[in-house]
Amino acid sequence: MKGLSAPSEQLKIVIVGHVDHGKSTFVGRLFNDTGSLPDGKLDQLKKIAETRGVPFEWANLMDGLQAERDQNITIDTAQIWFSTKKRQYVIIDAPGHKEFLKNMVTGAANAEAALLLIDANEGIQENSRRHGYLLNLLGIRQIAVLVNKMDLVNYSQERFDEIEKEYREFLTTVGVTPKVFIPISAYHGQNIATKSDKMPWWNGSTVVDILDQFEVTDRPLNQPLRFPIQDVYRFDERRILAGRVEAGSIKVGDKLLFAPSNKVSTVKTIERWSAPQSDSAQAGESIGITLTEQIFVERGAVAALETAPPYELTKFKARLFWLGRAPFKKGRPYKLKLGTQEVECHIDDIEKIIDASTLETIHREGKELAIGRHEVAELTLRTKRPVAFDAHSEIIPTGRFVIVDGFDVSGGGIIAADNYPRRTSDSLHKSGNIFWSDGKVTPQQRAVRNGHSGYVVWLTGLSGSGKSTISVDLERELFNLGKHTYILDGDNIRHGLNKDLGFSPEDRKENIRRIGEVAKLVADAGAICITAFISPYREDRELVRQLVPAGQFIEVFVNAPLEVCEQRDPKGLYSKARAGEIKEFTGISAPYEAPEKAELEVRTDELTVQECVAKIVEYLDLRDSDSQVSI
Amino acid sequence: MDYLSKLENQSIYIMREAFNKFENLAMLWSIGKDSTVLLWLARKAFLGHVPFPLVHVDTSYKIPSMIEYRDKLVKDWNLQLVVGQNKEVLDEGRTYPNGKATRVECCGMLKKDGLKAVLDKHNYTGVIVGVRRDEDPTRAKERYFSPRDKNMEWNVADQPPELWDQFKTDYEKGTHIRIHPLLHWTELNVWEYIERENITVSPLYYANEKGERYRSLGCYPCTFPVKSNASNVAEIIQELRTTKISERSGRAQDKESEDAFEKLRRDGYM
């Protein structure tokens, strides 16, 4: 009943069980017996039944669709609210028909506790078991079993005991410990809100008593921080990383490690709008943060404290349930969504396929190897890029994922604990290349496959300005982000392709032209080609720009004043040039024509290498989102 | 965390997902309390900004003070407003009560068809709508991210699974997704939040000197006030904690037949 004071908390409870075991009837009765029905609702339902010439059903309260009332069956999950003195409840009615399992999962995944109904007359059925199994996979630990329709078995204690014994045994094997079993008759309102007068042998609680004994589950605060980045906002000059704290807490001054790229920065501010000022945020809060040091971070990164990072791997073990119409097949790519990460994945190995209604192992061989609709499996998944994750038993939000087949979420899974290595090593980056293309492949198709377009990133600047240093760090960074990238190195080119060329003005020009041609091919193949050559002449650079399709040539002016470059002099070339040992040295005895319309300039005397790299990566990222190929 | 904050944080998460996933996103704004709370939550999500246009499907039958309130908010909060209207049926005089249309048919033409025209014109692929599960049994069945086909129809018999905050963000060309960030709120929650955040809503919700107030705002030929003396937010909250009258009781179009509202919604109504 609605009290006058505000209830302090809200609990979400799902009602599950086999079809026709009385779930919707139970909900209707619960509402009636707790005085929660709106005025006139009961009369309206009775009138509808009369007009339609069918007997009155409590279930009609929840079955809001015409098709549901016509067939007397719940098709989709629904939610309805009521309050006790203790708190507000959200009651989630889930369908019991196997056909609508995805709707049951939708309802149950949002609940904190479950009431599982079993028909005393029919006993334990297929979906009584399957739902029990799924509740555990969905992470619901608070469960009460209601043995319903006791009126049909003459309120027999013996029958109740029999069902309790059998079902308890089943639940134990799947790792579920129910809080209590209660004998009820939903239709007759026995043991719902008041103690049954038909079952004097029952000394336990009513359903309403038990509801109030369940606990609201808050996200645990004492776990390691997990802050998955949902988006990056640039509404003004600041870059705000938006997301929800999924585990632990975060505060200004925390040094964060961003997985899976392994970059580090410190929390400068915590951003909220129209909310009390606070320098920290806890699990469950949707916030924004800014960083003291600008690094390139995008959606999908997971911020953690350096001391307790998530795993970052391309392979993990999982338990999965499949809801898709088409089976989950080995040898085919699918999309995996874990938190805000999205990555292509495929089945590496299936250990076991299980019928969740019998717990029997299903045997399938060779070509047949696939997980069918409503089946459960233990398997190993492999992803195209490293994924930041935790074992489900350790941190729930980063320990579970869904699989998307085409346009549809088709399965869900939880990550099993295992002996995973803590850091990504290069050996784990091997991509099992199971992808093929036949016939004509367009640049757009390559871009969609790779998740980015091909580019030529042309670094130009004085000797010692930092081109090579930036190029290798940039390549590593792009590679870590899962992008295809390659550096064209000056010496390597001169050893092979250009070994017939010397250093005459014609040869220098031809050198740049050939490099340009090769860079163009690499970009056309879909990769991000990085070049690091002084390339002092505007005309030469312009020539290369013309070779490459519009928008794919990114000229980056790596800029540091001559004095700074000369002071750095990493190869001792400036002193040699000053001593006259090298003739026509760019900047000393030969001109350097600075770019007039470079896409980007990085001042290496003002920014760190990491900041320069971040600037270039961000530019590429924006370019990609403009051309809409970004995944 | 208290439950209002939980509701708020969940809504912010959903709106941020929508903003990230849809190139062409808009928010429906009916000027009522729910879409005003939704607008407030958008500003929470985007730190004071509203980075997408608001679409108001104007039936021309809105109570005049609603339009005044709309225009004031657009100015005060610097909002981008897109107004859509089914001029054809209005010009032809086919609408309820003067034309031949029943209440439900009129809703279909002015709101559903009006909405479809705006969506088509601007190619919106994601539309944020402030419906709640507790309003009506068909809305109780909704998803946070709910697909609509090329004809804007809702296939209620085959909805996508939705678990662990992973939403349907992949969709076929020509279809669109309705995003419902307030789905898990109740009418009472909305008012509790209005009180906590001190949000200004249309004065029509407060009881007048005749002892009447609107619980739900719509077109004046089909929307009627309820008897109430609740003249401020606190009194409304007290009233809602004890009332047993349903929120849409003043909305006449719902009552034309048993499944009137379901049919409207299947065809693309909000």
Give me the residue spans of the domains in chain B.
Answer: 3-186, 187-254
Question: What CATH homologous superfamily does A443-626 map to?
Answer: P-loop containing nucleotide triphosphate hydrolases (3.40.50.300)
CATH fit for domain A313-426, picks 3.40.50.620, 3.30.420.40, 2.40.30.10, 3.30.70.260: 2.40.30.10
Which pLDDT score is estimated for A402?
Answer: 97
User: What residues contact A462, with CB distance under 8 A and at least 6 apart?
Assistant: A534, A560, A562, A565, A586, A587, A592
Give the tokens for residue A225: 């921080």
- Please tell me which of the candidates A39, A233, A401 has its beta carbon nearest to residue B46: A233
Measured at the CA of B23, the angle between CA B20 and CA B29, to 5 degrees, comes to 85
Q: What are phi and psi of B260, to 5 degrees?
A: -55, -45
Distance, CA of A19 to CA of A95 (rounded, Å): 7
Residue keyed to tokens 């499907």: B57
Determine the average pLDDT of the residues in A610-619. 92
Tell me the per-residue pLDDT of A257-285, one tens digit each, with 9 for 90 and over. Answer: 998 878 899 999 999 999 988 999 999 99
Q: Is the pLDDT of residue A76 over 80?
A: no
Tell me the per-residue pLDDT of A566-584, one tens digit each, with 9 for 90 and over. Answer: 998 888 889 888 888 888 8
Coil, strand or helix at A206:
coil
Which pLDDT score is estimated for A7?
Answer: 60
Alpha-carbon gap: B86 to the closest alpha carbon of chain A (Å): 29
Q: Is the pLDDT of residue A626 over 70?
A: no
Amino acid at B212: E
Q: Is the pLDDT of residue A430 over 70?
A: no
Helices within A481-608 (DSSP H only): 490-495, 505-524, 538-547, 562-568, 573-578
Kindly provide the ipTM of the predicted complex, given to two decimals: 0.92
Which pLDDT score is estimated for A367?
Answer: 65
Determine the average pLDDT of the residues in A469-488. 91
Q: pTM for this one?
A: 0.76
Tell me the per-residue pLDDT of A202-256, one tens digit each, with 9 for 90 and over. Answer: 999 999 999 989 988 877 778 999 999 999 999 888 899 999 999 999 999 999 9
Q: Is the pLDDT of residue A431 over 70?
A: no
Residues of A in contact with B136 (CB under 8 A): 64
Position A425 confidence tier, pLDDT thresholds 50, 70, 90? very low
Q: Is the pLDDT of residue A447 over 70?
A: yes
**What is the count of residue pairs from A and B with beta carbons less than 8 Å apart?**
159
Tell me the per-residue pLDDT of A552-566, one tens digit each, with 9 for 90 and over. Answer: 899 999 999 999 999
Whether CATH 3.40.50.300 fits A10-213: yes
Residues of A in contact with B192 (CB under 8 A): 6
Give the tokens for residue B138: 């068909």
Amino acid at B41: L
10 Å CB burial of residue B75 (0-12, 13-18, 19+) is: exposed
Which pLDDT score is estimated for A2?
Answer: 40
Give catalytic status of residue A205 as yes or no.
no
Position A145 confidence tier, pLDDT thresholds 50, 70, 90? very high
Q: Is the pLDDT of residue A432 over 60?
A: no
Q: At what angle do helices A126-137 and A101-109 cross, to 10 degrees?
A: 40
Asked if the Cβ–Cβ distance from B141 to A62 is below 8 Å, we say no
CATH fit for domain A227-305, picks 3.40.50.300, 3.30.565.10, 2.40.30.10, 1.10.287.3510: 2.40.30.10
Provide CATH 2.40.30.10 ranges for chain A.
Answer: 227-305, 313-426
Residue A353, strand partner residues: A362, A377
Omega before residue A183 within 30° of 0, cis: no
Other Cβ atoms less than 10 A from the Cβ of A558: the count is 26
Residue A181, strand partner residues: A145
Cβ within 8 Å of B, A 251-280: 271-275
Element (H, E) at A52: helix A41-52
Element (H, E) at A404: strand A400-405
- Please tell me which of the candidates A8, A76, A284 has its beta carbon nearest to residue B156: A76
Distance, CA of B71 to CA of B67 (rounded, Å): 6
Which pLDDT score is estimated for A510?
Answer: 86
Element (H, E) at A43: helix A41-52
Cβ within 8 Å of B, A 407-466: 407-409, 412
Q: What are phi and psi of B95, to 5 degrees?
A: -85, 160
Q: Is the pLDDT of residue A80 over 50?
A: yes
Q: How are beta strands B126-128 and B25-28 bridged, if at all?
A: parallel
Amino acid at A417: A
Tell me the per-residue pLDDT of B175-187, one tens digit each, with 9 for 90 and over. Answer: 899 999 999 999 9
Any B CB within 8 A of A102 CB: yes
Any B CB within 8 A of A628 CB: yes
Provide CATH 3.40.50.300 ranges for chain A.
Answer: 10-213, 443-626
Alpha-carbon gap: A273 to the closest alpha carbon of chain B (Å): 5
Q: What is the 3-state secondary structure (H, E, C) of chain B?
A: CCHHHHHHHHHHHHHHHHHHHCCCEEEECCCCHHHHHHHHHHHHHCCCCCCCCEEEECCCCECHHHHHHHHHHHHHCCCCEEEECCHHHHHCCCCCCCCCCCHHHHHHHHHHHHHHHHHHHHCCCEEECCCCHHHCCCHHHCCCEEEECCCCCCCCCCCCCCECCECCCCCCCCCEEEECCCCCCCHHHHHHHHHHHCCCCCHHHCCCCCCEECCCCCECCCECCEECCCCCHHHHHHHHHHCCCCHHHHEHHHHCCCCHHHHHHHCCCC
DSSP string, A124-178: S-HHHHHHHHHHHHTT--EEEEEEE-GGGGTT-HHHHHHHHHHHHHHHHHTT---
Q: Is the pLDDT of residue A429 over 70?
A: no
Coil, strand or helix at A321:
strand
Which pLDDT score is estimated for A428?
Answer: 34
Q: Is the pLDDT of residue B237 over 50?
A: yes
Chosen for mutation from B131, B162, B226 (greatest number of chain A CBs closer than 10 Å) is B162
Which pLDDT score is estimated for A627?
Answer: 54
Q: CA nearest A597: which of A560, A562, A539, A555?
A: A555
At the topology level, CATH places domain B3-186 in Rossmann fold (3.40.50)
**Between residues A529 and A551, the one the model is more confident about:** A529
Any A CB within 8 A of B140 CB: yes
Coil, strand or helix at A593:
coil
Alpha-carbon gap: A231 to the closest alpha carbon of chain B (Å): 7
Determine the average pLDDT of the residues in A353-360. 87
Lowest mean pLDDT among A451-455, A509-513, B108-112, B141-145: B108-112
Determine the average pLDDT of the residues in A392-400. 93
Q: Which of A156, A504, A535, A630 is catalytic?
A: A535
Q: Is the pLDDT of residue B63 over 70?
A: yes
Coil, strand or helix at A337:
strand
Residue keyed to tokens 């790779």: A450
Determine the average pLDDT of the residues in A20-46. 84
Which pLDDT score is estimated for A423?
Answer: 54
Tell me the per-residue pLDDT of A170-208, one tens digit each, with 9 for 90 and over. Answer: 999 888 899 999 999 999 999 999 999 999 999 999 999
Any A CB within 8 A of B234 CB: no
- Mean pLDDT, chain A, rounded, equals 87
Q: What are phi and psi of A255, to 5 degrees?
A: -90, 115
Q: CA nearest A141: which of A91, A94, A105, A179?
A: A179
Other Cβ atoms less than 10 A from the Cβ of A323: the count is 25
Alpha-carbon gap: A62 to the closest alpha carbon of chain B (Å): 7
Any B CB within 8 A of A53 CB: no
**Residue B141 vs residues A2, A19, A42, A103: alpha-carbon distances, Å:** 24, 18, 21, 10
Q: Does residue B33 contact residue B193 with C-beta atoms inside 8 Å? A: no
Position B256 confidence tier, pLDDT thresholds 50, 70, 90? low
Residue keyed to tokens 């021309």: B60
Amino acid at B137: P
Q: Is the pLDDT of residue B258 over 70?
A: no
> Which of A539-557 are b and which e, b meaning 16 or more Cβ less than 10 Å from the residue's Cβ?
ebbeebbeebeeebbbbbb
Residue A282, strand partner residues: A249
Q: Does residue A219 contact residue A284 with C-beta atoms inside 8 Å? A: yes
Which pLDDT score is estimated for B132?
Answer: 93
Asked if the Cβ–Cβ distance from A6 to B192 is below 8 Å, we say yes
Q: CA nearest A14: which of A6, A24, A3, A4?
A: A24
Which pLDDT score is estimated for B241?
Answer: 84
Long-range contacts of A357-362 (CB under 8 A, 24+ apart): A357/A126, A357/A127, A357/A129, A357/A130, A357/A133, A358/A129, A359/A129, A359/A133, A359/A170, A359/A173, A359/A174
Chosen for mutation from A65, A84, A87, A241 (greatest number of chain B CBs closer than 10 Å) is A65
Any B CB within 8 A of A284 CB: yes
Position B255 confidence tier, pLDDT thresholds 50, 70, 90? low
Position B216 confidence tier, pLDDT thresholds 50, 70, 90? confident
Distance, CA of A270 to CA of A266 (rounded, Å): 11
**Residue A383 vs residues A319, A344, A380: alpha-carbon distances, Å:** 16, 6, 10
Any B CB within 8 A of A323 CB: yes
Cα dihedral A139, A140, A142, A143 in deg (nearest 10): -130
Q: Does residue A407 contact residue A449 with C-beta atoms inside 8 Å? A: no
Determine the average pLDDT of the residues in A143-164. 95
Q: Is the pLDDT of residue A387 over 80?
A: yes
Asked if the Cβ–Cβ distance from A409 to B166 is below 8 Å, we say yes
